A = this chain, B = another copy of it.
Amino acid sequence: MQDIIDEIASQMLSRADKGKVATYIPQLARVNLEQFAISVATPDGQVVSAGCADTLFSIQSVSKVFTLTLALGKLGENLWHRVGREPSGDPFNSIVQLEHEQGKPRNPFINAGAIAIADAIMQGQAKETLAEILQFVRFLANDNTIAIDERVARSELETGDRNASLAHFMASFGHFHNPVDAVLGIYFHHCSIAMNTQQLATAGLFLANQGINPHTGYAVVSPRRAKRINALMMTCGHYDGSGEFAFRVGLPGKSGVGGGILAIAPGKASIAVWSPGLDPIGNSKLGTEALERLTHKTGWSVFAG
């Protein structure tokens, strides 16, 4: 495995076209494009890495996997009254579907869906809810040093009109239980959690291991729920690039605009990659390519025999 990912990391670093960093969040626009990291965590407790696997980056929408898991823990299957489970076929920040479907987001991984989930999780003060989310991610990664990058959160807040629009739109249908601004605060902050690929791969391991985190021995979710979260990551985890990711990589995965991707090979591994350059849809360009090579070499695609 070490050999495979070393080779992939060196190939990725030598690539001329690395995509473009996200520019709409000023803090993300400053990130150096010439960075690549990959970590592979396996159920036996091992984590192997290549590239700058200690460098922190903004996990952004990858955090939606964790808030979905938390929300399912709190609300159970009732959560599906708030969000659907279907790919939307639209960009991550589209509002058209919301108007046609009375303010109910298609799935938990588009922005509208994740904002609805932030509202569903929230109890009491925004600060406490945020602390709970952070605590949950630390628990999953078995690492108490994980923190929110406040500069990124502030940067998002200042440029977050599109997400504010989505939130107010849903609220106009009477779907929100909490003040829109508080919910947005939670959303922007959990997107601003900073992690490295080692931490991220570890945090996702429960999804590859029937719901159990082998580092702590805790059952995070039931095997059935792990399976279902993986299914959602497969069909909806890359917005209107989900079909392409399934076609090329063949693993459930969730991307973030910070350039990170968490991919799950059920029973085999949890993989985190990071390369800040994005493709036109907003998914990590080299991250996707690295995963494509990895599943090609390992035969880990869920679609192979």
Interface residues in A94-109 (C-beta closer than 8 Å to B): 94-100, 106-107
- The answer to whether B172 touches A243 (Cβ under 8 A) is no
**Which residues of B are found within 8 Å of A210, using beta-carbon distances?**
304-305
Q: Determine how close the nearest CB of chain B comes to the CB of A115; give it in whole angstroms.
A: 12
**Closest B residue by C-beta to A93:** B172
- The answer to whether A106 touches B89 (Cβ under 8 A) is yes
- The answer to whether B243 touches A85 (Cβ under 8 A) is yes
**Which residues of B are found within 8 Å of A167, using beta-carbon distances?**
165
- The answer to whether B234 touches A303 (Cβ under 8 A) is yes
A169, A208, A252, A302: residue with the most chain B Cβ atoms closer than 10 Å: A302
Task: Please report the C-alpha to C-alpha distance between residue A137 and residue B70 in the assembled complex, in whole angstroms.
Answer: 47
Interface residues in A200-226 (C-beta closer than 8 Å to B): 208-210, 223, 226
**Closest B residue by C-beta to A295:** B227
- The answer to whether A243 touches B250 (Cβ under 8 A) is no
A232 within 8 A of B: yes
**Closest B residue by C-beta to A43:** B305
**Which residues of B are found within 8 Å of A208, using beta-carbon distances?**
305
Interface residues in A235-256 (C-beta closer than 8 Å to B): 235-236, 240-244, 246-247, 250, 252
Question: Of the candidates B87, B88, B231, B301, which one forms a contact with A250 in the assembled complex, judged by CB atoms under 8 Å apart?
Answer: B231
Task: Please report the C-alpha to C-alpha distance between residue A168 and residue B166 in the assembled complex, in whole angstroms.
Answer: 9
A45 within 8 A of B: no
A198 within 8 A of B: no
Question: Of the candidates B86, B169, B305, which one forms a contact with A226 in the assembled complex, judged by CB atoms under 8 Å apart?
Answer: B305
- The answer to whether A243 touches B301 (Cβ under 8 A) is no
Question: Of the candidates B87, B180, B246, which one forms a contact with A231 in the assembled complex, judged by CB atoms under 8 Å apart?
Answer: B246
Question: Of the candidates B88, B99, B226, B232, which one forms a contact with A96 in the assembled complex, judged by CB atoms under 8 Å apart?
Answer: B99
- The answer to whether A223 touches B305 (Cβ under 8 A) is yes
A84 within 8 A of B: yes
Interface residues in A32-79 (C-beta closer than 8 Å to B): 43
**Closest B residue by C-beta to A97:** B89
Chain A residues near B (Cβ < 8 Å):
43, 84-90, 94-100, 106-107, 161-162, 164-169, 171-172, 180, 208-210, 223, 226-228, 230-232, 234-236, 240-244, 246-247, 250, 252, 266-268, 301-305
Return the 5 tightest CB-CB contacts between A and B, nearest first: A89-B89, A267-B305, A161-B172, A230-B303, A302-B302
* 6 A-B residue pairings within 8 Å (CB atoms): A95-B169, A96-B100, A164-B164, A165-B165, A210-B305, A232-B243
**Extra contacts besides A210-B305, A234-B246, A266-B304 (5): CB < 8 Å:** A95-B96, A161-B169, A227-B303, A236-B243, A267-B304
